[in-house]
Chain A
């Protein structure tokens, strides 16, 4: 077992009276793709900038490749960063951009050129060395920014929402490309984003960050199927949120009753006790639809609703309905079989879900 490439030990950063990063400790294994996912203002950029060395932690230590980075300036760290706006140097050609870091290390000119051209070839930009930066497309610039960092063979590559500036189609494409590049180079990537789909698709491990702390650190599957906190459940993927009280506990299952008296069954999270106010989450794709109660799988509690609107989005199509008693909105993914393609607005409908696939947590303090 090799030492982790990145190790954070109780890292703290405060700005005035606001704690941006609150005593974080974690490690990132060599060669893995690690994402930090969180809404804006959660402290993820501060954390990344501390790893890069642009700001110093108030306390705690960051260890990269086995060496403490305390007091080490950004230009002396074995870390390179791909900036949000890429920050390619417009006054230089593509080749000069890629060779910039090598030149700073005193690599001879001939070798600099050879290595930067070889790197451009690896990212699929062979022969682009003489081009100006503004002659490249968005995706090509992205690759130049990555090549410029990877040519230095850093221990860690930091990526600060590099796909944020791209349009949707290109973003989907670059996601795949980034994953392939990371696999091909084997460099450890630390990637920050507020886009949960980027984090889920790309990463080996994802940390969900909120208020300067990690809510949960795990594989994308863990986050999606076994969220540890209500924040993770609502932030990662679409989820139906039902607020109520735990009115009955039965082994792992809790009965949740809303203020209006609607009851559902959900898997109980450890801390939930009888009478607690709770938040329950049900994934849209975990719910079955039926035109009558008998169409639903047997042995479950059936709920009734009225179709509110139909959200057609190809494979991600869903129906939005209102539960009959509470008038609460509930989102259900439409099956791919086309079974409910003829659903109409205002049509009464029944739905049910397996209690094991719904989760309930003790409610967050407001």
Chain B
């Protein structure tokens, strides 16, 4: 009796930090934001319940266009990160042995010792009109005047893929490491080409890692503020910037809260759709990493 009670008390103690974290930093603010988003200011310190904030979103084309654009670019950037990270993960997990594998992994990790702001500013130094890369292009005779490489959608992609790479690599490497090499050899031995081995053996095996990496990267990208703001400038039209504007510039917390919830709904919808499409379950994916 008392031992059982002790057991559950210990469990409660052990879970307490996590529960406090969840409750105080995630659940409570979101409940408050939800309440905020469903009210409208009628006068000073006077609010009524209404759907006005959500109505504004759909009525104003700028808002939902930025919303869609953010979603599409995030999906594309996630796909690009996957394509770029897969060969690297394959090399680290399968081809490089022992020390050279961990060395390569550390090389991928090192940029993350520097803060994200500094890293992004690094890109600006490289890409701005008076920067390193445009200067190099002029020197090589590939351009007459130094081109402006910042503030394009492509620049945003570069920044997003770069920032997300590590978070795709880690789940990919851990799922590829568990792939038995003899499965690849067996498929090859039975007449499969390199691409067929990838399609029928490697990708199905790595599917939980691929999904986990994509979910993490997609959420990071969708919620990224710094990279689109710095590399895309005023043209970036990123939805998190709209939220920032509502909260900070316009003091319209109700509108900002509604935007926040729309973004949450969007990321949830896309992740669920992605898992449905690949026929996987969230729990399995997170266990696999």
Scoring A residues 85 to 128 as 1 if CB is less than 8 Å from chain B, else 0, what string do you get? 10101111000000011001100000000000000000000000
How distant is the Cα of A296 from the Cα of B205 in the complex, in angstroms? 67
Chain B residues near A (Cβ < 8 Å): 180, 182-183, 185-193, 196, 200-201, 204-205
Which residues of A16-55 have CB atoms within 8 Å of chain B's CB atoms?
A: 52-54
> 12 interchain pairs (CB within 8 A)?
A53-B189, A54-B189, A74-B188, A76-B191, A79-B189, A87-B183, A90-B205, A91-B204, A92-B200, A101-B190, A101-B191, A104-B196
Q: Which residue of chain A is the closest to B186 with respect to CB atoms?
A: A87
- Of all A-B residue pairs in the complex, the 4 with the closest CB atoms, nearest first, are A101-B190, A104-B191, A87-B186, A87-B182
How distant is the Cα of A87 from the Cα of B200 in the complex, in angstroms? 14
Q: Are B190 and A85 in contact (CB under 8 A)?
A: no
Q: Are A105 and B182 in contact (CB under 8 A)?
A: no
- The size class of the interface chain A forms with chain B is 20 to 34
Chain B contacts of A148 at CB under 8 A? 190
Q: How far is the CB of B245 from chain A (nearest CB, A)?
A: 47
Q: Are A152 and B185 in contact (CB under 8 A)?
A: no
User: SS class of chain B's interface: helix, strand, loop or mixed?
Assistant: helix
Q: Are B190 and A52 in contact (CB under 8 A)?
A: no
Chain A residues near B (Cβ < 8 Å): 52-54, 73-76, 79-81, 83-85, 87, 89-92, 100-101, 104-105, 148-149, 152
Given known A87-B182, A89-B201, contact A52–B192 (CB-CB < 8 A): no
Q: Are A87 and B180 in contact (CB under 8 A)?
A: yes
Chain B contacts of A52 at CB under 8 A? 189
Q: Are A83 and B191 in contact (CB under 8 A)?
A: no
Q: Which residue of chain B is the closest to A105 with respect to CB atoms?
A: B191
Given known A75-B191, A104-B190, A149-B190, contact A83–B196 (CB-CB < 8 A): no
Q: Which residue of chain B is the closest to A106 with respect to CB atoms?
A: B191
9 new A-B pairs (CB below 8 Å) besides A87-B183, A87-B185, A100-B190? A74-B188, A75-B190, A76-B191, A81-B185, A81-B186, A85-B182, A89-B186, A100-B187, A104-B191
Q: Are B182 and A75 in contact (CB under 8 A)?
A: no
Chain A contacts of B193 at CB under 8 A? 75, 104
How distant is the Cα of A5 from the Cα of B106 in the complex, in angstroms? 50
Q: Are B189 and A74 in contact (CB under 8 A)?
A: yes
Q: Are B186 and A83 in contact (CB under 8 A)?
A: yes
Chain B contacts of A53 at CB under 8 A? 189
How distant is the Cα of A284 from the Cα of B189 in the complex, in angstroms? 44
Q: Are B182 and A83 in contact (CB under 8 A)?
A: yes
Q: Are B189 and A80 in contact (CB under 8 A)?
A: yes
Chain A contacts of B188 at CB under 8 A? 73-75
Chain A contacts of B182 at CB under 8 A? 83-85, 87
How distant is the Cα of A90 from the Cα of B200 in the complex, in angstroms? 11
Given known A91-B201, A91-B204, A104-B196, contact A81–B189 (CB-CB < 8 A): yes
Chain B contacts of A85 at CB under 8 A? 180, 182
Q: Which residue of chain B is the closest to A151 with respect to CB atoms?
A: B190
Chain A contacts of B200 at CB under 8 A? 89, 92, 100
